[in-house]
């Protein structure tokens, strides 16, 4: 479980992206990302299959097909 | 009964009978707006003159018996949706003077069937955050409370009887949340069903345009007009919608309703749970079969949804991200500040995991025809704190507002918000009815049956143009 990006990390990213943000706004963003981190960590821990990969396009394909399965089990990888 | 109190379907019957005209209906709505909207603040731009001119044309078409599907019905449009010749602000002062030359596809289609653009309605700034610059929209059931959002004005205007139809957009629940909190009916269609061309983008993966009204029948009528392929939306589906008229008057006997207990009922206020249980019991009484289903990966939905929304919103708004101070709303500023720090790996993981959620739904739909779940975790929060009270415990708005709605944006399923009752405090609660992709007709069938056997959708806030109960511009919770 990680704690989220530090203020210094966010500041470095913002500078690299050419984004100007006040220290207060960066600090608020750090707090928000720290609060979000447990949910994000759950997503990161969820394994997706390498040999039968899910791609972003599968979601739209499933919708257009009326909800017919595109993959055999939803993509989790137990390895 | 004033004309503004009628649904669109009822107004069409009145026009057909000749007892009142579209001009009469527009004037009735304008009168309601004049009296109530100082307090509610649902309207951002009124299109009075043009609407009355077009109402006169509609009146003539009724006279010569050449009405179109929505001839003479006034409607509102959330202000993130473009309207030719009428300013479209996105709820932001940045676009405060923007006057588009072309209307969004959804607006064009409604107008082509005779509907009359009456007003642009309030929205959270860029459909996320809040709406500080143009003032908060107040819930007609209690002016001290939020309408929810981001289709705030559309929901409030419908509840206040300022118009019978409105368009909203929904990225994580922005049609269904305000519909539920204001006691009106709203549909997030299947992803790709209603073209989004002309609507300001928040997240191209999760954005939907959809109809809002005061009955399922009206929502279905709007949907019939708005849905269908348009090449300018690359995700537009090239399939004709199923016949919505077939959804009515067939009841729910034999239909199997899934109830996913493991996510949707874990964190909701007892009043919402009780109302949802009552709704399920009422549908069971009509012959539906209730089946418990599981969505084992639903807990991932918020991480998937917010990661996608953050990343895509930051991309869409990259030209103004260095001008965050010009954004009007503090919550919108905060959102866009946070949005800039999503990694490509997390964004792509979220996109790839969408189908895992869909697979859960597909397994559920192997055994049921539709799902019935609560609409929002609790009743409308107070505007001055924006905190949900769940079983008397406080939860910040942003932490739980989309908990029950965002998952349907991720899966792309049609989800219909329907009022299911009032709490003891006089605040609306509601349910969602979700069906497999492209099966809006199933949502309509269940929702319409429910509205035939209940009267929750007919409840009106305690205000009238001739009996103004609000004395100070604040509702019952103000000053507490």
The predicted-structure confidence for B445-479, as pLDDT tens digits, reads as follows 999 999 999 999 999 998 644 444 443 333 333 32
User: Is A71 in Cβ contact with B348 (below 8 Å)?
Assistant: no
- Active-site residue (options: B27, B54, B78, B188): B78
- Active-site residue (options: B58, B132, B146, B150): B150
Between B473 and B301, name the one with better pLDDT.
B301
When pLDDT is averaged across residues B102-108 and rounded to a whole number, the result is: 98
Is pLDDT at B248 greater than 60 in this prediction?
yes
Most confident of B55-69, B227-241, B333-347: B55-69
User: Is B304 in Cβ contact with A43 (below 8 Å)?
Assistant: yes
Q: What is the mean pLDDT of chain A?
A: 87
Q: How far apart are CA B406 and CA B469, in angstroms?
A: 36
Q: How far apart are CA B29 and CA B5, in angstroms?
A: 9
Interface mutation vs chain A, best among B240, B350, B358, B363, most A CBs within 10 Å = B358
Which of B407, B433, B409, B405 has the alpha carbon at shortest distance from B420?
B433
Q: Cis (ω within 30 of 0) for the bond into B128?
A: no
**pLDDT at res. B36:** 96
Which residues of chain A lie closer than 8 angstroms to B302, CB-CB? 39
- The band of B243, judged by pLDDT with boundaries at 50, 70 and 90, is low
Is pLDDT at A78 greater than 50 in this prediction?
no
Contact B152, B122 (CB under 8 A): yes
When pLDDT is averaged across residues B21-34 and rounded to a whole number, the result is: 98
Q: What percent of chain A has pLDDT over 70?
A: 85
User: Is A60 in Cβ contact with B235 (below 8 Å)?
Assistant: yes
- The band of B153, judged by pLDDT with boundaries at 50, 70 and 90, is very high
**pLDDT at res. B478:** 30
**pLDDT at res. A1:** 58
How far off is chain B from A75, nearest CA to CA, in Å? 6
Contact B255, B289 (CB under 8 A): yes
The answer to whether residue B174 is catalytic is: yes
**pLDDT at res. A72:** 54
**pLDDT at res. A61:** 96
- For every residue of B71-127, which 3-state class applies, written as one string? CCCEEEEECCECECCECCCCCCCCCCCCCCCCCCHHHHHHHHCCCEEEEEECCCHHH
Interface mutation vs chain B, best among A19, A23, A67, A78, most B CBs within 10 Å = A67
Which residues 230-249 of chain B have a CB within 8 Å of chain A? 235, 237, 239
In DSSP notation, B132-147 reads: -TT-PPEETTEEEEE-
Is pLDDT at A77 greater than 60 in this prediction?
no
Q: Which two tokens stand for residue B141?
A: 């059931």
Eight-state DSSP code of residue B200: P
- The band of B323, judged by pLDDT with boundaries at 50, 70 and 90, is confident
Give pTM, 2 decimals: 0.95
User: Is B438 in Cβ contact with A14 (below 8 Å)?
Assistant: no
To the nearest 10°, the Cα dihedral for B155, B159, B161, B164?
50
**Nearest Cα residue in chain B from A25:** B337
Q: Which two tokens stand for residue B19?
A: 């007892």
Is pLDDT at B164 greater than 60 in this prediction?
yes
**Nearest Cα residue in chain A from B356:** A74
**pLDDT at res. B329:** 79
When pLDDT is averaged across residues B351-379 and rounded to a whole number, the result is: 98
- The band of B328, judged by pLDDT with boundaries at 50, 70 and 90, is confident
**pLDDT at res. B251:** 96
Contact B179, B138 (CB under 8 A): no
Q: How far apart are CA B356 and CA B296, in angstroms?
A: 10
Is pLDDT at B76 greater than 60 in this prediction?
yes
Strands B415-422 and B428-434: antiparallel
Which residues of chain A lie closer than 8 angstroms to B306, CB-CB? 36, 39
- The band of A19, judged by pLDDT with boundaries at 50, 70 and 90, is confident
User: Is B352 in Cβ contact with A54 (below 8 Å)?
Assistant: yes
**pLDDT at res. B467:** 41
**pLDDT at res. A70:** 64
Q: Which residues of A touch B (CB under 8 A)?
A: 5, 10, 13-14, 17-21, 25-26, 28-29, 32-33, 35-36, 39-40, 42-44, 46, 48, 53-56, 58-60, 62-71, 73-76
Which residues of chain A lie closer than 8 angstroms to B369, CB-CB? none
pLDDT digits (tens, 9 = 90+) for B130-139: 887 899 999 9
Q: What percent of chain B has pLDDT over 90?
A: 88
**Nearest Cα residue in chain B from A6:** B341
- The band of B330, judged by pLDDT with boundaries at 50, 70 and 90, is confident
- The band of A4, judged by pLDDT with boundaries at 50, 70 and 90, is confident
Strands B185-188 and B415-422: antiparallel
Is pLDDT at B272 greater than 60 in this prediction?
yes
- Burial of residue B357 (CB within 10 Å: 0-12, 13-18, 19+) is buried
Is pLDDT at B229 greater than 80 in this prediction?
yes
Flag the least confident range among B11-15, B217-221, B316-320, B408-412.
Answer: B316-320
When pLDDT is averaged across residues B217-224 and rounded to a whole number, the result is: 97
């Amino acid at each position: 479980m990680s704690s989220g990006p530090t203020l210094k990390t966010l500041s470095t990213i913002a500078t690299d992206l050419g984004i100007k943000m006040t220290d207060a706004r960066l600090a608020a963003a750090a707090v928000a990302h720290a609060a979000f981190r447990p949910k994000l960590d759950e997503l990161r821990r969820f394994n997706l299959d390498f040999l039968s990969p899910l791609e972003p396009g599968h979601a739209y394909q499933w919708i257009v097909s009326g909800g017919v399965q595109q993959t055999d089990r939803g993509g989790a990888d137990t390895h | 009964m004033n004309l503004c109190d009628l649904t669109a379907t009822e107004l069409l019957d009145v026009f057909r009978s000749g007892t009142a005209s579209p001009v009469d209906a527009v004037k009735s709505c304008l009168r309601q707006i004049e009296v109530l909207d100082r307090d509610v603040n649902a309207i951002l731009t009124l299109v009075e003159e043009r609407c009355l001119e077009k109402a006169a044309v509609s009146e003539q078409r009724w006279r010569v018996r050449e009405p179109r599907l929505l001839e003479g019905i006034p409607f509102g449009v959330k202000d993130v949706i473009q309207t030719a010749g009428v300013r479209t602000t996105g709820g932001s002062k940045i676009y405060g003077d923007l006057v588009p030359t072309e209307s969004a596809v959804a607006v064009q289609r409604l107008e082509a069937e005779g509907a009359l653009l009456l007003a642009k309605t309030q929205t959270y700034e860029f459909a996320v955050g809040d709406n500080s610059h143009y003032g908060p929209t107040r819930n007609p059931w209690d002016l001290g409370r939020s309408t929810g959002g981001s289709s705030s004005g559309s929901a409030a205007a419908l509840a206040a009887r300022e118009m019978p139809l409105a368009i909203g957009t929904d990225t994580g629940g922005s049609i269904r949340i305000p519909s539920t909190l204001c006691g009106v009916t709203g549909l997030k269609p299947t992803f790709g069903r209603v073209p989004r061309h002309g609507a300001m983008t928040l997240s191209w993966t999760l954005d939907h345009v959809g109809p809002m009204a005061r009955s399922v029948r009206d929502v279905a009528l709007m949907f019939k007009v708005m849905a269908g392929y348009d090449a300018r939306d690359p995700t537009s589906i090239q399939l004709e919608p199923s016949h919505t008229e077939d959804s009515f008057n067939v009841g729910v006997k034999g239909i199997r309703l899934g109830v996913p207990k493991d996510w949707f009922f874990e964190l909701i206020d007892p009043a919402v749970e009780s109302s949802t249980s009552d709704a399920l019991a009422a549908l069971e009484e009509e012959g539906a079969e209730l089946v418990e289903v599981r969505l084992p990966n639903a807990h991932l939905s918020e991480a998937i949804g917010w990661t996608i929304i953050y990343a895509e919103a930051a991309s869409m708004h990259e030209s103004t991200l260095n001008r965050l101070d010009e954004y009007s709303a503090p919550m919108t500023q905060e959102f866009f500040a946070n949005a800039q720090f999503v990694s490509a790996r997390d964004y792509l993981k979220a996109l790839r995991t969408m189908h895992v959620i869909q697979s859960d739904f597909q397994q559920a739909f192997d055994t049921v025809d539709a799902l019935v779940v609560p609409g929002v975790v609790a009743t409308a929060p107070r505007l001055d704190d924006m905190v949900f009270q769940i079983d008397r415990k406080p939860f910040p708005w942003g932490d739980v507002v989309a908990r029950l709605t965002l998952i349907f944006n991720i899966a792309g399923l049609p989800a219909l918000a329907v009022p299911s009752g009032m709490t003891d405090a006089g605040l609306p609660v509601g349910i969602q009815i979700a069906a497999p992709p492209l099966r809006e007709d199933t949502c309509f069938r269940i929702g319409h049956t429910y509205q035939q056997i209940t009267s929750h959708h007919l409840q009106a806030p305690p205000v009238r143009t001739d009996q103004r109960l609000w004395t100070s511009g604040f509702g019952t919770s103000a000053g507490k």
